[in-house]
Chain A
Amino acid sequence: MQYRIGIDVGGTFTDVVVQGPEGLVRAKADSTPYNLTVGVQRAATLAADALGMTYDGLVRQAETVVYSTTVGTNALIERKGPRLGLITTTGFEDTLWLGRGRNWADGLSPEQRRDRGRARRPSPLIPRELIVGLHERLDPAGNILMPLREEEVVDKVRYLVDQGVRGFVVVLLYSYVNPVHEHMVADVIRKEYPETYLGHMPVYLSSQVAPQMGEYRRTVTTILDAYLRELTENHLLDLSDHLRELNYQGPVLLAKCTGGVSSPSRTRPIELYGSGPVASIVSASELSRWLGAPNLLVTDMGGTSFDVGIVVEGTPLQYDYDPLIERWRVQLPVVPHWSIGAGGGSIAQVVDGRPKVGPQSAGANPGPACYRRGGTAPTVTDADLVLGYLNPEFFLGGRLPLDPTSAEAAIANHVAKPLGLTVEEAAWAVKSLVDGTMGQEIYRITALNSGYDPREFTLLCLGGAGPVHVTGYSGYADVRQAVVLPIGSVGGAFGTLALDVLQTYEKTVHQVIFRPDFERIEGDAMTNLNAQIEELVQLARRDLEEERFVAGEMAMSLDILLRFGQQRHFLPITAGSLGFREEGELQKVASEFVRLYAATYGEESTFVDAGIEVIGLRLHARKVLPKPVITVSPSRDRSRSLPPRRAYWGPGVGWISTPVWYGPALEAETVVQGPALVEYPDTVVVVSPGWQLSVTENGAGWLQHLGRR
């Protein structure tokens, strides 16, 4: 029992990282959407090979398996979930359908959002005829305006059953304040369809899944949770059975987009969505200490997308407001990460006489033209090959030979000729555009969410295509230094091993602390808040006891969500304790809110006269787990210096014979001056002119721009 196995199942590849006495081992295999466990097994077998073990032996000796999966992605895209019925308040049957008027644009690029004439909503997860309204109504304080009649519930439930539904989602207005009517509905359904009999159907109450203000987001969150549950459960049971059959004794922990892991019994299906990128970001907070770089911009450039996350002072950025899952706006405390349609497979084209790159991607199939899998559209990878950055015989360690002729033809036909450029000028334009887009998106994201100056950050470069472009996009991001890591191509799997056990509990409350123009704290503010906090603490304790955690193993912390009076936007402030004993503590939280608000939006934006309100509480329960350690030693499987290659470095420099190094063979303190190419089995670090790469003892490659910007 000495190995910890981290698994990240992505859309294209399944990555595995094993931490053991021998150090850290990584492996990568194709994902197998027909049965994800097969891809997991293949990648883990490769890792076991590297350790000189069998797959069975590795599993048997593992103490922990941490799993990040995209099992729900395809189910959502292909609408493969169960037939569900939605029971809601009369008058709000179209809430899901209308989607706040804006849901046609949610999850689309800015260009697509402007194209309203061609707007198409995502097809709803529950069709309109399976949505029924009940004559019931509460007011915002939870008082009953229209009492619910049991006989109506029975009628509506029977109607839905007649329509063939296999589960019920219940979302009634203001149930987050008073769930009495939702509980009544659940009781009726359970009475009609008892759990002890065949035909029992699950009931999902919004007041339990997402007890927060906002009927559209709460509806979507509850539906997604219900929609993905069965499929997710089945897959996890399959994997779990498979591991148990191999005598695995430890826990299977699931990585969550909320930034932690938990056992399947304490994990909601939607929390698995985006867990891979989040694991990378959370692990980066660990790496920030190891690297001695407290502020990191975490970037992961793959085949189709470019993911960005932020670590500030060694901590991932605060949770996202209104995150999107696919094209659905949900209520979930997701560690914020942004995905931009730019990757190695992004397609270049000329529109209205102007060059464009992405967001369309050739993906892995047919892939870039140079893959020779039938793709003819020029991609970023084709441009990289034309420019001489990629070694056609050593792409992915030689497993995928590239065809430069196809790449040149694609760039020539679709970019160079329409723009009247040479092939290399066109390829350079493609590279410049994608670098500019990615870099400036990093800039926007950093600035938008924190107001931090990107110059105070180090860019952590993950993903197979990242190191090829990092010196390009760093400049546009206004970042001075970047770092590449040996585990960079399997950042998600590595990240899973860095996560702690984490449960998060959220609740909408409305409590005025200060009224407008009044300086005194509201009389009942402290008492009311303490009562609400205690409710969350009790909920957490119940879960922890059921999970058999020993008291003291889990640490709890509390975020208070505050806003100026009537404002929609809030900022979370971490409270010093799980409750307020004196007004001074409440005053301190309010002061911290004003300070953070001023730091984020500027002193001139604060408006204390508007009053300060609490609009939500968020409780975290965390158990710290061991963290992975990166250890590397120089490889001797290829020589340190490889034959130079002609590469194009822009119109100012042109084509030059460029030194090529074999990255794994570089010893600590090696310094490589750009222009240079440093090849690894799974990527190439392109060291542009004006940059230098310094290799440190821990295998990290530091890229620094030598000139002034």
Chain B
Amino acid sequence: MGRLRDRMVLLPGLVYDRHAYGKGPGRDPELLVRGVEPPSDLEKKGMQLFDDVEEEIFHHKMTSVVEEAREVYQALSISEGIITGDMNASIFTSEGDPAVVATGIYFHTLLNYAQAKYILKYYRPDPTVGLRDGDIFFFNDPTCGGVHTFDMFVTAPIFYEDLLVGWAEVGGHQGECGSISPGGFSPTATTRWEEGLHVHALRIGEHWQLRRDIFDFFLNSVRNPFVFAADLKARVATCKRIRDRVMRECQRRGPVAVMGGLRRILDTSAKLARKRLSLVPDGIYRAILFNDGVGTDEGLVRVPTTVIKEEDHMTVLVQGVSPENFKGPQHSTWHLVKASTGVYLFTYFFRGLAPNIGLLEPVEFLVEGPSIANCTEEVAHGEGTTIAAMVVQNLHVIGSKMLFSSPENLGVCAPFSRNVFINVYAGTNIYGYRTANFTGPQNGGGQGARFDMDGEHGCGFFWASVTDIGEVEESDTRLPLVTLARTTDKDFHGFGKYRGGTPCMEVSMAPPAGCLVTTRGASDRLSHNPGLFGGYAGPPNPRFIIQDTNLVELMQNSDPRLVFRQYELAKDHVIAGRYRFESSSQPTEPFQHGDVFVYSVGGGGGYGDVLERDPEAVMEDVRTNVLSIEMARDLYGVVFDPATLSVDTEATVTRRQAMRVERLQKGKPFAEFMEEWSQSQPSPEILKYYGDWPEPRVKGYRKPFWGLYDDPTPRRE
């Protein structure tokens, strides 16, 4: 570690480099923080059998195997999450590290490895359990290495004769898990005991056969046994497919070569990551985000992120975080924060390198705990992704700044949309099946603007590179709702020289039989979609429901005033009813035929100054209905004919110049701003979950959070 990192001061009494909880039955956090295991003697021997070309070919083969597995898993599953891409399929090294992954969701790539390690360490030598070819293990407990209880996985050892050469693992977001709310997400949960099944690493089958008694236990523990059973079978079938393919490669290359090849892939990734890091300027980089609620209640909490980059190493420090609370499920874990950063790092920072855990070898993660980012085990974890994603968004802003003056600057862009919002619909679908799950528009987030172009509209899920919002004609037969629209929306993205993309906005109504809806979300008032270099943030998105409506009648009359877009619904109130704009963390509630639900995951952040945006691009946004006339005129400073949308170029230049002058008049020196700003403080009601103000973990410390680095002996009272 270098001189910059030496300036870092960690607070006494808090943990940073490990979990805020300790060992327990089926759980050993030490296995989670260990990183990639050193190669075994056999792996070392196998690694010698490869040169660069053969490694490339072997890597391609293993990638083909997991890509195939991903297709099979998605094809055989029923859950909306799996079908639309919230899943992954992996091959692990014999020591339990994920070497080759098809995803899906990037954080799954970096999670759920400790279970295999746990089995190796504790169960394999134990005569009451052991480990044999054909064993099937199931797990979903977040404290053992996962995300939340509704992400369910199966892993199976791959034995070649008696030699353990690796592991096959398959899983994803299944939904319903027996928690207090149907469908998985339970925004009112305050402890883990309200979040349904918690299975650490349980052998549920042998010789590739599921045990009937355990199978029945699972089916009896959830509300939709039919979906649970189908998806579990899909996971087992997919694991077996991976195992068969790896076995064949063992026959071709020899098992030792396969073991060595898998391990070598990780080493190569680590080398390439170090090389990439060495191209980026050294420095200390910072970003911060705030959340406006904790699940069951509103209130301010804080998640800052600092990156210390020196030579070929990087430290990600998440410090000065609000303390944990028992008021909701928005609590992350050390391993979830680490894994979540893969979403940014793999796609943008390490762009072009094969995604696996090896890329994180040169990155150190320090996550302050106990806190909402690194919590203890008893608290509810179900929406820990909300907090982890804030770290990711911070890292995205930081990473773009780091890459800006590096040769890898094609990755510079504003963050992808992450104003999380999910409606879980429960009830009976049109074919009479009981079901509880979400629809696809969470996979249609707005992309952040790039340094050289706009973000795409509705372009995937925050956590994954390629996901699918599906098609309404299909999803309306699976879930109890009538989808009225999937559209872009007006003024619902980050403005800038290049604008962010708008999300896919879904408007739906409860069917004749009604339905139950549970909503989970965050960023109702404060956006988690920051802009970059002067670009605006994507807007926050609270829950929007219209209840007790006359919509059915309006539809029967084909009322031409009906426009199923958030902008017009909220502005024009054509539909009569009770308009509810509220927190997106809401418990399960019944709704009647004609009640309207509006949701999206928000638009991507903008890049650069709005006054530098090409006026013709502004007009194109108006023409395509994603920007209002008012914003084009007042924010972008474009002078144009509203009827023809033709730009008055000269008048636009003049108007923009005047706007710049106005800005300068409003501006003030930084020190002056800080003097005023430091005197401000939110009300105690808003700060009740925040910790001490302004520095949550250091009472009376009045400097901004980065002051920790200026003060070698911070106090903690």
Distance between A399 CB and nearest chain B CB, rounded to angstroms: 33
Q: Can you list, as one digit per residue, whether each of A301-326 has a CB less than 8 Å from chain B (1) or not (0)?
A: 00000000000000000000000000
**B144 on the interface (CB 8 Å rule)?**
no
Taking a contact as CB atoms under 8 Å apart, the answer to whether B76 and A444 are in contact is no
Q: Is the CB of A610 within 8 A of B226?
A: yes
Among B268, B351, B560, B563, the residue within 8 A (CB) of A117 is B351
| Partner of A102 from B61, B413, B466 at Cβ < 8 Å | B466
Contacts A436-B57, A448-B71, A565-B433 given; indicate if A214 touches B474 (C-beta within 8 A): yes
Interface-lining segment among A67-75, A139-147, A363-371: A139-147
* Contact of A440 with B64 at beta-carbon distance under 8 Å, contacts A102-B460, A351-B352, A605-B236 already known: yes
Closest CB in chain A relative to B356 CB, distance in Å: 12
Is A36's CB within 8 Å of the partner chain B? no
Chain A residues in 8 Å Cβ range of B467: 101-102
Number of A-B contacts (CB under 8 A): 255
| Bound CA–CA A101/B465 (angstroms) | 10
Is A437 in contact with chain B by the CB < 8 A criterion? yes
Contact in complex: A101, B458 (CB < 8 Å): yes
Over the window 678-709 of chain A, the binary record of Cβ atoms lying under 8 Å from chain B Cβ atoms (1 yes, 0 no) is 00000000000000000000000000000001
| Best-surrounded residue of A119, A516, A606 (most CB of chain B within 10 A) | A119
Is B650 in the interface zone, CB < 8 Å from A? no
Check A147–B556 contact: CB distance below 8 A. Answer: yes
Minimal beta-carbon separation of A360 from chain B (angstroms): 14
Q: Which of B423-471 contact A (CB under 8 A)?
A: 430-431, 433, 440, 443-444, 447, 450, 453, 456-461, 465-471
Distance in angstroms from A124 CB to nearest chain B CB is: 11
Are B558 and A146 in contact, with the CB atoms below 8 A? yes
Residues of chain A from 94 to 118 with CB closer than 8 A to chain B in the complex = 94-95, 97-98, 100-102, 104-105, 110-111, 113-118
Residues A214 and B473 in contact, CB atoms below 8 Å apart: yes
Q: Does any Cβ of A come within 8 Å of B555's Cβ? A: yes
**Which of these, A102, A213, A419, A569, contacts B473 with CB under 8 Å?**
A213
User: Does A101 lie within 8 Å of B623, measured CB to CB?
Assistant: no
Complex partner residue of B466 from A113, A148, A441, CB under 8 angstroms: A113
Question: Whole-angstrom distance between the alpha carbons of A539 and B60 in the complex?
Answer: 47
Question: Is A98 in contact with B458, judged by CB distance below 8 angstroms?
Answer: yes
B564 interface residue per 8 A CB criterion: yes
* Nearest CB of A to B428, in Å: 12
B287 at the interface (CB under 8 A from A): no
Whether a CB of chain A sits under 8 angstroms from the CB of B405 is: no
Contact residues, B484-517 vs A (CB, 8 A): 484-488, 504, 507
Residue from B240, B416, B466 having most chain A Cβ neighbours under 10 A: B466
Interface residues contributed by chain A, number (CB under 8 Å): 84
B558 with A148: CB separation less than 8 A: yes
A429 to B347, CA, bound (A): 28
Chain A residues closer than 8 Å to B468, beta-carbon distance: 100-102
Chain A residue contacts of B507, Cβ below 8 A: 91
Do A116 and B347 touch (CB < 8 A)?
yes
Q: Does A128 contact B (CB under 8 A)?
A: yes
Q: Is the C-beta of A538 less than 8 angstroms from some C-beta in chain B? A: no
Say which residue of B245, B459, B556 sits within 8 Å of A119 (CB atoms): B459
Q: Does residue B67 face the partner (Cβ distance < 8 Å to A)? A: yes
List residues of chain B with CB within 8 A of the CB of A147: 556, 558
Q: Once the chains bind, are B226 and A117 in contact (CB under 8 Å)? A: no
Complex interface: chain A residues within 8 A of B477 (CB) = 140, 510
Complex Cα gap A149–B413 (Å): 46
Interface status of A443 (Cβ within 8 A of chain B) = yes
Which residues of B242-260 have CB atoms within 8 Å of chain A's CB atoms?
245, 248, 252
A668 to chain B, nearest CB (A): 34
Report the minimum CB–CB distance from A524 to chain B (whole Å). 14
Q: Cβ of B617: which chain A residues have Cβ within 8 Å of it?
A: none
CA distance in complex: A97, B486 (Å):
11
Complex: A239 Cα to B698 Cα, angstroms: 83
A354-B52 in contact (CB<8A): yes
Given contacts A98-B504, A444-B67, contact A567 B465 (CB under 8 A): no
Binds A, one of B227-235, B536-544, B634-642: B227-235
A92 lies within 8 A of chain B by Cβ:
yes
Q: From A129-137, A257-265, A374-382, A528-536, give the one contacting chain B.
A: A129-137
**A634 proximal to B (CB < 8 A):** no
List 22 A-B residue pairs with CB atoms under 8 Å apart, sorted by A's residue number. A91-B507, A94-B486, A98-B457, A101-B440, A101-B460, A113-B466, A116-B447, A117-B347, A117-B413, A352-B352, A353-B275, A436-B60, A440-B61, A441-B64, A447-B245, A510-B431, A565-B433, A566-B431, A568-B78, A602-B237, A604-B208, A604-B237
Known A97-B457, A443-B64; 15 more pairs at CB < 8 Å = A90-B564, A91-B484, A102-B468, A105-B466, A114-B465, A121-B459, A147-B556, A352-B353, A433-B53, A436-B60, A564-B230, A567-B230, A601-B241, A602-B237, A602-B241
Q: Which 3 A-B pairs have the closest CB atoms?
A: A91-B485, A605-B237, A436-B57
